[in-house]
Chains A and B, each alone.
Chain A
Amino acid sequence: MDKNRRAFLVSMAQNVAIAATGGFLWAAYVDEAKSASLILRPPGARKEDEFMKLCIKCGLCVEACPYDTLMLAKPGDNKPLGTPYFIPRDIPCYMCDDIPCVPPCPTGALDIDSVTEKRDGQTIFDITKMRMGVAIVDIKDCIAFWGIQCDACYRACPLLDKAIFMEYRQNERTGKHAKLLPVVDPDYCTGCGLCEHACVTEKAAIRVLPREVALGKVGSHYVKGWEKSDESRLKGSKGIQTTVTPRSKKSPVESLNEGIDFE
């Protein structure tokens, strides 16, 4: 009887060990594969971790795209297998007004609410609301920064003068010309990549990166005191609280003057 129990326990332990070994290898691969952060997702995609939870890898968004912009990651692409992405330098997103790629998504990995707006009780598509990524200019390799006139990205931008605007700066080398420098405003940039597609340099000097990768974060303790809306965040706060230590108990003036005889 005892022998039987032992045999059962050992075989159970064996099974668990095999499962753990397999599970470990499996988990290691999946965890690595899904952490590819430099990947541009289709319009309306949720944040990457949420997207990776939801995407069922069916390719309905890919099939809906009329420009063949979207692709499904194949083995060898070094992206999470089967998930949709695009490479703007090859084919950018042309920002269709009717957004054909988002509604077919069966799981909600592409969030239709993020690219629609309710106007007069009607749902209206607004592709300019999408945030697939943000364009970043490499100011060393952008020839406009050399003083050569080039506004390829600026002209290509579907949100011209908003997402990319031109900043004028004196060309100090010649002394009499202006440099027309492209500047990206992340508040408007959708990450469509038309600029990257249009860039004339051998390797694009303006590139779209995932917003999570490219953008910083200020933190809530910075308040724009000159903006009413931002300033209003301070309402209800208990005022400034300072930490009191033995050193800071007295005011600096007091401690500076300590022990000095002024007579």
Chain B
Amino acid sequence: MSKLKKYRFLILRRFTQIALLVLYIGGNYWGWKILQGNLSSSSLFETVPLADPYAVLQIFATGALIGTNALIGAVIIALFYAIVGGRAFCSYVCPVNMVTDLANYLRRRWKLDKFEKKWWASRNIRYWVIGLSFILSFILGTAAFELVSPVSMTHRGLIFGMGFGWAAIVTIFLFDLFILKNGWCGHICPLGGFYSIIGRYNLFRVRHNQPNCTLCMKCKDVCPEKEVLYMIGKKSQIVDMGECTLCGRCVEVCDDDALNFSIRDFAKKGEKNDV
């Protein structure tokens, strides 16, 4: 039971990731009408349109007049993550997360960090990639990231047939395992960067309770975006950076009840300073 509790968010995340995939795959192969399409755009129960707001913005950048369904879908998704989800897309929906989490797990298991040559790369690369994707979409007349995105490639591959798409998955796996820790999700992926931006002020946040903290640093060890845990052992506050994927791994590994999910308190002034 305690073991289950130790992995409760991980299990929930794998459940939502796989359940969504199954629904999408069922939509294509068995004609289920629950979720059809893929993460780029889909239709829920054949009525509610959903769309990837980042892809829609890239289409905007091409200068094309986009259909209303995609617009409505993008607004729905953007509002959901802005209010509720934060950057939870990355840890609860995105299929590539399972690949990079595996790489990260093996990294810890094999203690690769001790031996690997370290490369430093800015975690802001993703924001440059976002900017670049809009410029390229404008110049080339097509949604530029969507043509190369390993995220949609993987998701589409699982639903509509993989082709050589597995090569992209293996590449990301090896890149994260041997070249750069959290390389794809934590540095490059513009979709993650995009959700970091729009999910910056969502309601659900992890809160650090400093007096309980024993500085064991297990949380920083498992966190895929460990910059967001800058307050650990220093002050009690919410994890306020948009890059937090709300994966809940830090909450799970904390044995001292120093990290928990909470709801952002907008009324409280000086949220950052003290509790």
Contacts and interface: CB of A to CB of B under 8 A. Distances in A.
Contacts of B152: 57, 82
Given A60-B42, A63-B28, A76-B164, 6 more contacts: A18-B128, A23-B136, A59-B156, A60-B41, A71-B160, A107-B70
6 contacts: A15-B128, A30-B147, A34-B141, A49-B141, A59-B160, A81-B147
Considering residues A18, A60, A71, A107, which has the most beta carbons from chain B within 10 angstroms of its beta carbon?
A107
Contact of B153 (A15, A59, A60, A82): A82
Contact of A80 (B55, B73, B136, B142): B142
Contacts, number: 144
Interface size class of A (residues with CB under 8 A): 35 or more
Nearest to A84: B160
A74 B160 contact: yes
Given A74-B162, A75-B164, A106-B49, A34 B142 contact: yes
Interface in A13-35: 15, 18-19, 22-23, 26-27, 29-31, 33-34
Contact of A56 (B143, B157, B161): B143
A27 B163 contact: no
Contacts of B246: none
Interface in B142-159: 142-144, 146-148, 152-153, 156-157, 159
Considering residues B142, B156, B165, which has the most beta carbons from chain A within 10 angstroms of its beta carbon?
B142
A59 B153 CA distance: 12
B168 A63 contact: no
B62 interface: yes
B132 A19 contact: yes
Interface size class of B (residues with CB under 8 A): 35 or more
Interface of B: 27-28, 36-38, 40-43, 49, 51-52, 55-56, 59, 62-67, 69-70, 73, 128-129, 131-132, 135-136, 139-144, 146-148, 152-153, 156-157, 159-165, 167-168
Interface of A: 15, 18-19, 22-23, 26-27, 29-31, 33-34, 49-50, 52-54, 56-60, 62-63, 71-72, 74-77, 80-82, 104-109
Considering residues B64, B66, B148, B157, which has the most beta carbons from chain A within 10 angstroms of its beta carbon?
B64
B274 to A, nearest CB: 33
A23 B139 CA distance: 11
Contacts of B161: 71-72, 74
B52 A56 contact: yes
Nearest to A15: B128
A76 B147 CA distance: 13
B43 A30 contact: no
A58 B28 contact: no
B164 A62 contact: no
Nearest to B36: A63
B156 A57 contact: yes
B163 A76 contact: yes
B64 to A, nearest CB: 4
Contacts of B67: 54, 105-109
Nearest to B49: A106
A108 B66 contact: yes
A62 B70 contact: no
Contacts of A53: 59, 62-64, 141-143
B42 A62 contact: no
A56 B142 contact: no
A82 B168 CA distance: 14
